[in-house]
Amino acid sequence: MINLRDKGAEVWEKSGRPARVAIVLASIAAVASLPLMGGTILNTPIASYESVLVNPVAMFVLMAIGLNIVIGKSGLLDLGYVAFFAIGAYTMALLGTRTGLNTWEILPIGIAMAMFAGLILGVPALKLRGDYLAIITLGFGEIVRIIALNLETLGRSEGILNIPTPPPIFGVEYAFDSHRIYFWTLLVLILLAIWMVRRLSARRAGRAWESIRQDEDVAELLGVPTFRYKIWAFVLGASVGGAAGVFYASKTLYIAPDNFTLQISILILACVVFGGMGNIWGVILGAVVLAYLPDRIRFLSEARLLVFGLVLVIMMNLRPDGLLPRKKREKALVVKEKS
């Protein structure tokens, strides 16, 4: 089977600085032009193509990047990731309808709220491992939804209506149906998240997470403050989920507890696993495929989910480590044997 990951890494390593800048800019331009490709084969036959690109595609990508910090990098199984998405969304909904704050002002507040939630969940939960952690996070995801369902302030099952759209930026209006501008804004958030993850992975935090994922006891015995780094993974993962939530609420203008079910957590987890845990490009690809595919094959009507499930099963059998797995390349050994 062709190894896209290694091919990509090879091209990247051989390129000089200007070539790399060119690759990055060209890739960004290609992705940014996606909303303009509505007439091509990419078009989703029944759903509006541009709105599919925003939600679920870009939303899933953003959240998958966030969850990947927790699951892929640090090996902490979080089944309640939707909670942070919900907290970001409800922060936006509440502050957006009750105060004069606009989306850009609420964004950092929503991120902070999600991070804070990650902290309060993480401090007790991260003392546990594996299955136990998974169950606690699963419970947390449900608790957040049920609180929203029962709290008068949060609109109970009716949710919150009339959430404001983002104010114009550089004179560009965020009209409800102009999906492109939302897509491009999300793209900026996604690029920021990629930057953050790549930056952290290359240094101390990345090594600490990697060592924890592979053997937590040994990590601790070799001086890694494991608890602190697990909390960081949780909190940073939550921040990305919170950002996605704020933007989601500001895009759909209406949220209700039904938007934040366990199914979202599972779907995002599927994106991470399907794409290739721990490899950010794999995770992005996984999210794109899993978010886009159901809409692309919508013409199959009833058979749609069956086909989707089949694709998942077949792919996971063919590539159990995901589309673009994590496994790192060893640099050519010949080069090293110069001494």
Residue numbers at the binding site for other proteins (CB under 8 A): 196, 199-200, 203-205, 207-208, 210-211, 214-215, 217-226, 229, 232, 326-328, 330-331, 333, 336-337, 339
Residues contacting residue 168 through CB under 8 Å, at least 6 positions apart: 174
* Closer residue to other proteins in complex, CB, 38/206: 206
* Closer residue to other proteins in complex, CB, 227/254: 227
* Closer residue to other proteins in complex, CB, 47/221: 221
* Closer residue to other proteins in complex, CB, 78/210: 210
256: tokens are: 């209700």
* Cis peptide bond upstream of 294, omega within 30: no
Nearest approach, Cβ of residue 219 and other proteins (Å): 7
Nearest approach, Cβ of residue 76 and other proteins (Å): 16
Nearest approach, Cβ of residue 331 and other proteins (Å): 5
* Closer residue to other proteins in complex, CB, 238/256: 238
Nearest approach, Cβ of residue 215 and other proteins (Å): 6
Residue 1's beta-bridge partner residues?
none
Nearest approach, Cβ of residue 244 and other proteins (Å): 19
Q: How many other CB atoms are there within 10 angstroms of residue 240's CB atom?
A: 31
Q: Is 290 helix (H, G, I), strand (E, B) or coil?
A: helix
* Closer residue to other proteins in complex, CB, 218/314: 218
* Closer residue to other proteins in complex, CB, 192/266: 192
Nearest approach, Cβ of residue 71 and other proteins (Å): 15
* Closer residue to other proteins in complex, CB, 215/258: 215
Nearest approach, Cβ of residue 321 and other proteins (Å): 12
What's the CA gap between 110 and 122, in Å, rounded? 18
Nearest approach, Cβ of residue 242 and other proteins (Å): 17
